[in-house]
């Protein structure tokens, strides 16, 4: 059996590593050249970290990320709403995670291959074709090509993206004193009367990842140029604490992104014939639950275990849906609920302190 994976992100790389471990022939294809260094950072649940630990067993690479031990929800004026000891969460930069996964891969990644379409014989895909004209034949094809998956569109049709009604600005700031002071602590400041929040988590002794979640129906930057974003953030957070201002001052706005959040309803299936989608390609939730990366890792491990069982692929893919659909649907709904609470904190006053983690 030869497995062809499209997309060397978190889900694709993890699946490729498991398949290599189980001596299943695998070729992983990625549109970008070089270790994908893009992105900022995310929270990862213990379930995800256990998978990384398992992959690293017997290898010299050390695990990426830092333990997040405490979550503090505060008002910008200083009132502490909630303090919670966490046991199961890590924060890691996306580039650290992809570099770690690449370092474990034995056969490397076929780069600069932008998936274009499949070639079919008797209804089954027999080869993936890339925009540069390359072609990869295989028995099973896995779309791990992210939320805007071309593989998904080709085999399952277009999805109805729902606008998240919340936007995020995300950046990395170098402020060693604040990073040291809050090592292991996720601080989130939330306005009491409108959808506006600022969160920060140290990713090392020198750096913090920070984000602003805001309601674009109230305020919106005119464009996403660095100087526009800088002025927009300063204006949004003008009455937030001094340390928040310092984090903004230590930030590189050239590498600061504006994200439109969106999701789509649970798909009725994740596969068609011998093609299946995993990770964000299969299910996309709003970022409030912090579940996306952990779910990508769990998908990869679950599918690898099922492929290893040697059952026919139809059974493997049905079983994969049975094992994963209910859990990702729960995160999808939880993300939407947290979004509603976030946008209307006055109506949901009693629930405003819901912990935004799965």
Ligand X SMILES: Cc1cc2nc3c(=O)[nH]c(=O)nc-3n(C[C@H](O)[C@H](O)[C@H](O)COP(=O)(O)OP(=O)(O)OC[C@H]3O[C@@H](n4cnc5c(N)ncnc54)[C@H](O)[C@@H]3O)c2cc1C
Per the CB < 8 A criterion, the answer to whether 98 and 13 are in contact is yes
Beta strands in the chain (DSSP E): 2-6, 25-29, 41-45, 66-74, 80-93, 115-121, 124-130, 135-137, 140-143, 162-174, 185-190, 196-202, 207-214, 257-263, 271-272, 275-277
Per the CB < 8 A criterion, the answer to whether 199 and 188 are in contact is yes
State in angstroms the smallest separation of the CB of 130 from ligand X. Answer: 7
- If one asks whether residue 127 binds ligand X (CB under 6 A), the answer comes out as no
- If one asks whether residue 7 binds ligand X (CB under 6 A), the answer comes out as yes
State in angstroms the smallest separation of the CB of 239 from ligand X. Answer: 27
- Mask for 13-52, x = binds ligand X (CB under 6 A): ----------------xxxx---x-xxxxx----------
Q: Which is nearer to ligand X, 147 or 216 (CB)?
A: 147
State in angstroms the smallest separation of the CB of 22 from ligand X. Answer: 20
Q: Which is nearer to ligand X, 100 or 115 (CB)?
A: 115
| 258 DSSP β-pair partners | 169
Q: Which is nearer to ligand X, 146 or 250 (CB)?
A: 146
Residue 15 and residue 142: Cα distance in Å, rounded? 9
Selected binder of ligand X within 48, 65, 138, 146 (CB under 6 A): 146
Selected binder of ligand X within 9, 138, 199, 335 (CB under 6 A): 9
Selected binder of ligand X within 94, 165, 167, 188 (CB under 6 A): 94
Q: Under 8 Å CB-to-CB from 164, ≥6 apart: which residues?
A: 260, 261, 262, 263, 286, 339
Question: Rule CB under 6 A: which residues touch ligand X?
Answer: 6-12, 29-32, 36, 38-42, 94, 113-115, 144-146, 150, 170, 279-281, 292-293, 296
């Amino acid at each position: 059996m030869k497995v062809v994976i499209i997309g060397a992100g978190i889900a694709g790389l993890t699946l490729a590593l498991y398949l290599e471990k189980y001596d299943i022939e695998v070729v992983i294809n990625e549109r970008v050249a070089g270790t994908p260094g893009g992105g900022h950072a995310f929270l990862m649940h213990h379930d995800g970290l256990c998978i990384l630990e398992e992959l690293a067993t017997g290898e010299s690479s050390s695990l990426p990320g830092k333990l997040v031990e405490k979550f503090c929800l505060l008002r910008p004026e200083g009132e502490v709403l909630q303090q919670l000891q966490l046991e199961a969460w890590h924060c890691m930069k996306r580039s650290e995670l992809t570099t770690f996964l690449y370092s474990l891969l034995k056969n490397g990644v076929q780069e600069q291959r932008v998936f274009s379409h499949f070639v079919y014989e008797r209804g089954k895909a027999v080869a993936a074709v890339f925009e540069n004209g390359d072609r990869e034949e295989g028995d099973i094809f896995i779309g791990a090509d992210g939320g805007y998956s071309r593989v998904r569109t080709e085999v399952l049709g277009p999805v109805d993206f729902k606008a998240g009604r919340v936007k995020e600005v995300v950046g990395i700031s170098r402020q060693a004193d604040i990073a040291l002071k809050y090592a292991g602590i996720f601080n989130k400041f939330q306005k009491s009367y409108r959808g506006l929040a600022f969160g920060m988590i140290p990713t090392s002794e020198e750096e913090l990842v920070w984000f602003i979640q805001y309601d674009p129906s109230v305020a919106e930057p005119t464009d996403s140029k660095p100087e526009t974003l800088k002025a927009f953030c300063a204006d949004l957070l003008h009455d937030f604490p001094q340390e928040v201002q310092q984090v903004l001052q230590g930030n590189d706005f050239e590498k600061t992104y504006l994200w439109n959040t969106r999701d789509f309803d649970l798909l009725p299936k994740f596969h068609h014939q011998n093609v299946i989608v995993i990770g964000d390609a299969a299910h996309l939730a709003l970022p409030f639950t912090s579940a996306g990366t952990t779910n990508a890792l769990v998908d990869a491990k679950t599918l690898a275990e099922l492929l290893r069982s040697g059952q026919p692929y139809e059974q493997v893919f049905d079983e994969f849906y049975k094992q994963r659909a209910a859990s990702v649907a729960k995160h999808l709904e939880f993300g939407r609920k947290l979004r509603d609470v976030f946008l209307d904190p006055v109506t949901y006053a009693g629930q405003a302190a819901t912990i935004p983690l799965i």
